[in-house]
Amino acid sequence: MSLITRLSKFFSKPESKRQLGVSIGPSSLTLCYLDENNETSYQEAALDANQNLGDNAAIKNVTDGLTALLTKNSISGNCHVVLSPAYYKIVQVEKPNVPVDEMIGALKWQVNDLVTIAIDDLIIDYFDAPVFSATNPKVNVICASKSFLTLLMASINQDGIKLSTISTEEFAFISLVPKQESPILLVCQQLNAEAVLLIVKKGQLYFYRRLRGFTQLSQQSEQELAMGATESLSLEIQRSLDHFERQLKQSPIKLIQVIVPSAHEQYLVDKLAENTDIPVQLLALPEQNQGQRKHAVAIGAGLLEALEQSNE
């Protein structure tokens, strides 16, 4: 599923077999480029991690950096952008009982008091939460700044590039998982970002939870992981499993997969496996992306269109 894509309709450029995944993280930009010969290349640019991500200087840092990367590498094709949570917020609310064509307007006012973005600058999209109760349906609303996205699109609007989707980190990770009937819990992280737990079933997001205090997980040594980090992470995983199975009345999770860009990723998997009776394994990336686990979000960005089509 792609989100916040209505803005991309401002652009109309020729279709291309080339795919460009762009990850905009808290401290870096990453491009994952798949050319017409299925050859993949990667480019990175650092961002000033000390800036307030909501101010004009930080926004200009992002848009200027992206423009420079695209221009420097003479890239063309369909572009899929994934934002880090620093640039959006997801809130869950009761689903308004209104026609589909009135849903965006109703939700915009409903979430206005839950976000810090001024309503005149607020752009939203939404995805339905899995139906756990027929009497109280929920909807997940993605909120972002229209002015930021407009500037972002302008930096991408270059000859030969078509902006196809703007999405969120959660869906980029989901796009890396083959669709299957049984639910899977994903333990995901990218460099200098919060860890996130996702539960995926049939290509749909059933549960998501960001974990505070695990930003440095990917940079910890085996000794640091053994001294408490994996115990704390295992506890958060168990809490999420309990909520999913007991509170949401869902079938038990039978597999946990991990994507954490660490030199000790397999050690982390082994330690987590010691703390649960559920199999734990590395999340496999597509064959052409092996060895690029730190770029998982940018890789997933390029797969989002196929995920959306498979869910239609």
pLDDT in tens, 76-123: 888 999 998 888 999 999 999 999 999 999 999 999 999 999 999 999
* 252 has a pLDDT exceeding 60: yes
Q: Do residues 260 and 300 share a domain?
A: no
- Please state the φ and ψ torsions of residue 153, each to the nearest 5 degrees: -65, -35
* 295 has a pLDDT exceeding 60: yes
- At 293 the pLDDT is 92
CATH classification at residue 253 = 3.30.420.40
Joined together, the tokens standing for residue 74 give: 């003479």
pLDDT bin (cut points 50, 70, 90) of residue 2 is very low
- At 16 the pLDDT is 53
Domain with 15, as residue range(s), is: 1-176+285-312
Q: Do residues 154 and 170 share a domain?
A: yes
Mapped onto helix, strand or coil, the DSSP state of residue 116 is coil
For 45-57, what is the mean pLDDT?
68
- Please state the φ and ψ torsions of residue 81, each to the nearest 5 degrees: -105, 135
Q: Do residues 23 and 143 share a domain?
A: yes
How confident is the prediction for the chain on average, in pLDDT? Answer: 85
- Domains of the chain: total: 2
Mapped onto helix, strand or coil, the DSSP state of residue 54 is coil
Contact by Cβ (8 Å): 299, 286:
yes
Q: Do residues 126 and 61 share a domain?
A: yes
Rounded Cα gap, residues 163 and 154, in angstroms: 10
